[in-house]
Structure 1
Amino acid sequence: MPDKYMINFDSRELKQEDDEYIILGSGIAGLYTALAASEAGGSVTVLTKYNMMDTSTDKAQGGIAAALGDSDSPSLHREDTIVAGAGLCDDEAVSALVNEGPQRVKELIEMGAIFDSDSQGLALTREGAHSQRRILHASGDATGAEIQRVLTERVREKKIRVKENHYVVDLLVWNNTCYGVVAFDRDNDSLKIYRGKVVVLATGGLGRLFEFNTNPEIATGDGIAIAFRAGAEVMDMEFIQFHPTVLKLPGAPPFLISEAVRGEGAYLRNVDGLRFMPRYHDLQELAPRDIVVRAMLKEMATTGANKVYLDLAHLDPEVIKKRFPNITKTCATYGLDISVDPIPVAPAAHYMMGGVKTNLVGETSIKGLYACGEVACQGVHGANRLASNSLLDGLVFGGRIVDETRQFLKTYHPRRPEFACDWLLEPVKIDFGELRKKLEVLMGSKVGPVRSGQGLKESLNFFDSWGYLGRHSAENVEQMEVKNMLQVGELVAEAALARRESRGGHYRVDYPDNSRRWQKHIIFRR
C-alpha cells in the first residue's frame, strides 16, 4: 500500500523513546487518561500537536452533563441521550456514560475544578433536548477552560512527560498490532519514534475541514486519518454536528454562542423579527441541534438572509451578564450589548459524532491502539450528540481504557519490530495552502448541514482528483495536515453519499425522511 505512510523513514535511523502509555492529545480525554494511567502506576508520555492548552476542551463554553440534581437520574439522562441520537446510539455505551459520569465529574471536583454554585449547591442549567437541569458550568461560560486548567495542573504535578509541538505523522502497526508512533518534533525539526504498550488516540475532531466552524486550529481530523491509514475501522463518518448559534458578523471570526443561552430562555428570530422555532418543534429553541439548524437554514432561505438572530432582550440583563461573562465581553468588542441587541448567528461545523470505531473499553480494531474523546466512536452519541455530553465522553471512556489495560500491561512485553518506508515519491510542488482553502469551501457547500447526492458526487470527484498525493511524501507539517484533511473529508463524503436517508446530523434533500432499513452503521476499513 503506497499510501500507508505520509513520509519516507527508517525507524533504525531515528531517535526512539519508550513508555507504557503513549497518549496523543492534551484535551480532557488525553489528560484525564494520562492522569488515570499514572495513578494506576503506569508510565506515560503525552504528545500534543501544539501547546498543551491548545485544545477543543479549553474552548468549550456550555458545560458538562451529569445526573447530579435531586430530581435527575442516570436513567433520565440515558433516555435524553438516546432520543437525541435518533436511533443509532449503542445502549451499553450510553449506560456506561450516564452511570459512570457522575463519579468522574466528582473526581474533577476533587482535583480542584470549581463549578458555579448557588444556595442549593451546584448551579445546574438546562440545554437543548435535556429534560432536566443537569449541566454543570464554570465561570458562567468558561467550563472547558476550568477543566483544562485543573487537568493541566495535575498532569504537571505528576511530572507526566508532555511533549509539546509534536505532530504525530503515522502509527507503527505490524500484524494488526500497534507498537507506537512516528512523530515530527517541530522544535527540533526532526522525526522521532515513540514506542508504547498502549497507544491512545485523543486527538479531537475535524471541524477545521469546514470554512465556517467553531473549532481550534488543531481540529483537522489527524487521529482519524492516521488510524484509517494504519487499517483501523472508522464508523458513522457522515454524522457531523453543526452548532446552531455561531456569531455571524462581517470581519469577526466565528465565535460560539453557547446552547446554554437558549437554555436560559433566549429566542431565535428571523431577520424580520419573527420567532420561528415554535413552528418547527414542541421543544422550540431547545429542540435537538439538527432540528434547530435546519429550521434556521429554512428561515434564512425564505428571507434571503445569511443569518438569524438570538434575542435575549426579554431576560434579566444582570443575570445574563453574570451567567455569560465571556459571551457578553466578546460581543461587546463588536459593539453588541447582548442584553439589548439581538446577536446575529448562523450554523457552523462543531462536533464529530463518528470517528475511529472502538468497543466499550476504547479498544480499536488494531491491538494495542485505543481511542477516546471526539476522535473515537463507540456509538454513545448515535446520529446526533446530546448537548454537553462530549466532555463527559472523554472522562468516562478515557477512564475505561485505563481500567481495561492496567492489568494487561504487567505481563505484556511487546516485540520491537522496526519500521521503514522508502517507496513514496518526492514531494509535489503545489500550493497546499490554496488546496486547503478549496477543501474548506467544498466541505461547507457540498458536505455541510444540507446535502444532496449530486453535491456529494461532486465532492468525491474533487477527492479523486487529488488522490495521487498519497503516492508522494509530505515535505512538512502543513502538507501532512492537508493530506489528513483530504483523507478524512473523503470518508465523510463517501459515508454521506452511501446513507440514503436523513437522520440526526445527516440531512439529504433527495432523501429527506429517515428509514428503518438505515437504522444501522456504516463502517469503513481500508
Structure 2
Amino acid sequence: MEAWDIIVIGDGPAALRSAAQSAKHGAKTLLISSSALGGGDNSALDGLAAPIQEMNNRGHREDTIKSGYFLCDQDIVASKTSSAIDEMNHLEKSGVVFSRDSKGLPSTHKGIGHNSPRLVDAGDASIRDIQQVLEEQCMKHGVVRRSDQLPVMLVETNQKVDGIVTLDMINGQFVAIQTKALIIADGGFEGLFQGTSIGFGMDLALQAGMPLRGMEFIAKTPLGVANSKLTISSSILGYGASLCNASGDALSADTMTDLCEVVLESGPAVLDGRDMGDNKTWWSSVFRTVKSATGVDMNKFTIGLENRVNQTIGGIPTDEHGRAVVGSWARWFTGLYAAGDSACSGLNGAGTLPGNRLLDSLSGGNNAGTHAAQWVKTQSFANTENIVNMLQSCVDNHHITGDQESAETVRRIGSINSKLLDIATKFTSGPNSAEELSNYLAELSTAAEVAQTIHLDQTSLVANTNLVAKYRMQAGIRLLTCSIRSSLARNESRGVHKRADFKDENPELIHHITVDNEGNVGTLALRKGQKDNWVLAPQ
C-alpha cells in the first residue's frame, strides 16, 4: 500500500498552492485530480484583491466584512487580507505578468464592492498564467501529480484521517492510499447550477461525517453571457467596459449581490466593450471566445448578459490554519484540511467581494500546506487494517448496471441530471418559502433513489466517464440537499440568501449554520477580532 505524508485533492490554485507549500516544508506530497491535469478552476477569474496602494489592509478587511453582510469570521478576514500583498508578490516573482500602470507597477482598479482600487490581474490571461506558475512551483518542490484518480472514500477512525480510497481510471482498479493528512481543495459545487463539473472532496468529507457550513449562500454574477456557458470577469469593468440596461443606462451597486438585484429589476443587461481603447489588448481572448460562441463581435456590438451562479460560499468549515473543525472551533477532524472553494474559511460571509476568491485559494492553500507539513512531522501512519477493509468494501459494493436486459427499464444519467439541474435552478431563481424548500427536498430524495439504478453504457473501470458522471451526480444530490436544508434553517434574508417568508435580516442569526449528511442542523459561533472585539461591529 502506498503511503504519503500529505495527499492533496484538486488541481486549481488552492490545491497547487497547498501541495507546493507542504512539499517545500519537507512533506512527501501527492496531488490527485479526478480529471486531466492542468484544467484548474475559475477562482482567478476576477483577479486578486490586494491593497498595494493603501497604507494598510483596513479598507480591504472592512469592505470584505460589509460585502459578507457581517457573517465573516473577522479575525480570519484580518489575517487573510493582511497576506494579500505577499500572495501577489509570490505570483509576480513566480512569473505572472500583471497589467501595469504608467509607473511600471501592477495596475489596480476599483472592483464592485471595493471602496479603493485594489484589484490586480493579468486581463483574460489571469486563470491561465496563475495556473501555470503554480504548477511550476509544484514541480520545483517535487510534488507528485496524478490525473484520472477519482476519490471515492475518505477513510477515518473516530474522525481521524487514515487515508483514502480512489478509483484509478487509468488502470481500472480501486486503490487504497495511506496518509497522515488530507487537504481537500478541488473546488465547490457551482457547476451543479450550470450543468458542468463539481468537486468531489466536499462530498467525501460530508459522507465521512463532516458537517458542512454556510451551504445556503450561493453567489451570482451579472456577467454570464446569455445563451452560452461563458462567464466574463467583472475585472473587465475596470478596463473601460460598461454594464448597461437595454436603453444604454449604466447599472451599478455597492455590492455584487445588489448589482445582481439591479440587473434583475432593470430587465436584460448588456456589456459594452466598444470604448475600451488600448485596454482591449488585455481582453482579446474574451473578445475572440465570445465571437466564436455567440457570433457577436464585441468590437462593434454589445453582448447580452444574465445573472448566473458563479461561486458557492459554503463548504468544509476551517480555522485559520485550514484545519476542518467539527461542531466547535476547538474540535478538529484530525488530519483533515480544506482550502479554496472546498472550504468555508470565514473570509466570505453571506456575500463575496471580487478578488477575494483567489485570495482565499492562495492564502488558504498556503496556510493548510504549511501547517499540515509541520504537523505530519510528529505523526505516524495509523490504522492500516481499516484502510484495507474499506478498500475491500468499495470493491465488494461496486456494481455497474449495464447489461442489455436492463437498458430499457432503468434510468440513464441524462434524465436525472436534467431533474437535478431543474431543482437547482428553481432553488436559486428567487426567494423561497419553507414549503417550496421542503418540496425541493422531497424531489431530491426521489432523485437519489432513482440514481441508484442508473444504467451505464460502459462496464469497464478504465476511463469510464459514465461512472465518473454517476458519482458526480450522486455527490451533487447530496450537496444540494445540504444546501437546501441549510436554507430552511436560516429564517432570514441576508446577502445572497433570500427567503420569501422571512424577508428581513434577523440579528439573532449572526452565527454560522452547519448541516451533516443525516440532516442534523447545528451552529458555529462567529469569530470576532483579537481580544474578542469586533473588527467592524454588525450593523
Q: Secondary structure at the match of 1:104?
A: helix
Please tell me the residue identity of whatever aligns with 2:269. Answer: V
- Asked whether 1:343 is paired with 2:303, we answer yes
CA contact (8 A) 1:60 1:142 kept: no
Aligned partners of 1:144, 1:410: CA distance in 2, in Å? 34
The SS at the match of 1:407 is helix
- Computed over aligned residues only, the root mean square deviation of the Cα atoms, in angstroms, reads 2.3
Counterpart pick for 2:31 among 30, 38, 46? 46
Amino acid at match of 1:137: D
TM-score, normalised with respect to structure 1: 0.87
Which of the numbers 22, 26, 32 marks the counterpart of 2:7?
A: 22
Aligned to 1:275: 249
Q: Confirm whether residue 479 of structure 1 aligns to residue 473 of structure 2.
A: no
What per-residue deviation string (whole Å, max 9, x for no partner) do you get for residues 328-372 of structure 1? 222233333324422100011101111011111111132111000
- Counterpart among 491, 497, 516 of residue 507 in structure 2: 516
Distance of 1:478 and 1:501 partners within structure 2? 35
Give matches, 1:74-473, under 5 Å: 74-120=57-103, 121-138=105-122, 140-211=123-194, 217-218=196-197, 220-249=198-227, 253-271=228-246, 273-275=247-249, 277=251, 285-300=252-267, 307-313=268-274, 315-319=275-279, 321-333=280-292, 334-364=294-324, 365=326, 366-415=333-382, 416-418=384-386, 419-420=389-390, 421=393, 429-468=410-449
Shift of 1:199: 0.3
Taking structure 2 as the reference length, the TM-score comes to 0.85
One-letter amino acid matched to 2:425 = G
Per the alignment, in what secondary structure is the counterpart of residue 466 of structure 1?
Answer: helix
* Secondary structure of the corresponding residue to residue 334 of structure 2: coil
Give, in whole Å, the separation in 2 of the partners of 1:88 and 1:45: 34
Cα separation, 2, equivalents of 1:17 and 1:183:
12
* C-alpha distance in 1 between matches for 2:194 and 2:111: 26
Deviation by residue 1:295-347 (Cα, 9 ceiling, x = unmatched): 222233xxxxxx3212344x34333x123222222223333332442210001
| Whole-Å separation in 1 of the counterparts to 2:342 and 2:88 | 21
Change (3 A) 1:72 1:296: farther
1:56 aligns with 2:47: no
Distance, in Å, in 1 between the alignment partners of 2:255 and 2:55 is 19
Q: Residue by residue, what CA displacement relative to the aligned partner does 1:110-167 show, whole Å, maximum 9, x if unpaired?
A: 22222222322111122100111111111x2221211001111232343321110111
Describe the shift of the 1:515–1:241 C-alpha distance in structure 2 as closer, same or farther (beyond 3 A).
same
Q: Secondary structure at the match of 2:223?
A: strand
Unaligned runs of 5+ in 1: 1-15, 278-284, 301-306
Whole-angstrom CA distance in 2 between matches of 1:60 and 1:147: 8
Residues 466 and 254 of structure 1, relative CA distance in 2, 3 Å threshold: closer
Amino acid at match of 2:385: P
The 2-side partners of 1:494 and 1:351 are apart by 18
Post-superposition shift, 1:497? 2.0
Q: From the superposition, tell whether residues 407 and 153 of structure 1 become closer, same or farther in structure 2 (CA, over 3 Å).
A: closer
Whether contact under 8 Å (1:317, 1:339) holds in the other structure is: no
Residue 81 of structure 1: how far off its partner (Å)? 0.5
User: Is the 8 Å Cα contact of residues 124 and 285 (structure 2) preserved in structure 1?
Assistant: yes
Residues in 2 aligned to 1:96 and 1:472: alpha-carbon distance in whole angstroms = 47
Task: Check conservation: 1:424, 1:472, Cα contact below 8 A.
Answer: no
Unmatched 5+ stretches in structure 2: 327-332, 402-409, 457-466, 519-539
Q: Quick one: distance in 2 between partners of 1:211 and 1:174?
A: 36
CA distance, structure 2, for counterparts of residue 445 and residue 412 of structure 1:
47
- The alpha-carbon deviation at position 425 of structure 1 amounts to 8.6
Deviations 1:14-64 (A, max 9, x none): xx311101000011111111111111111110001111211214x743311
SS at match of 2:321: coil
Q: Is the 8 A contact 1:449 1:505 kept in 2?
A: no
CA contact (8 A) 1:474 1:480 kept: no
Could you tell me which residue of structure 1 aligns to residue 330 of structure 2? Answer: none
CA distance in 1, matches of 2:188, 2:377: 32
From the superposition, tell whether residues 27 and 381 of structure 1 become closer, same or farther in structure 2 (CA, over 3 Å): same
Structure 1 pair 291/156, CA: closer, same or farther in 2 (3 Å)?
same
C-alpha distance in structure 2 between counterparts of 1:409 and 1:211, whole Å: 38
CA contact (8 A) 2:106 2:120 kept: yes
User: Matches of 2:426 and 2:412 in 1, distance apart?
Assistant: 22
SS at match of 2:222: strand
Distance 1:61 1:371 in 2: 21
CA distance in 2, matches of 1:474, 1:141: 40
Q: How many residues align?
A: 484
Report the alpha carbon displacement of residue 427 of structure 1 after superposing the two structures with TM. 5.5
Contact 1:24–1:30 (8 Å) recurs in 2: yes
**Deviation for aligned residue 1:91:** 0.5
**Contact 1:269/1:311, CA 8 A, preserved across alignment:** yes
Task: Look up the SS of the partner of 2:183 in the other structure.
Answer: strand
- Which stretch of structure 1 is more off in the superposition, 355-364 or 471-480? 471-480
Residue 12 (structure 1) aligns with: none
182-191 or 338-347, larger mean C-alpha shift? 338-347
Shift of the 470–441 alpha-carbon distance from structure 1 to 2, 3 Å rule, reads closer
Contact 2:48/2:121, CA 8 A, preserved across alignment: yes
Please, which moves more after superposition, 471-480 or 364-373?
471-480
User: Is 1:37 equivalent to 2:18 in the alignment?
Assistant: no
Say if 1:159 and 1:431 are closer, same or farther in 2 by CA, change over 3 A.
Answer: same
- Structure 1 residues 107, 474: closer, same or farther in 2, change over 3 A? farther
What's the CA shift for 1:265? 4.8
Residue 207 of structure 1: how far off its partner (Å): 1.4
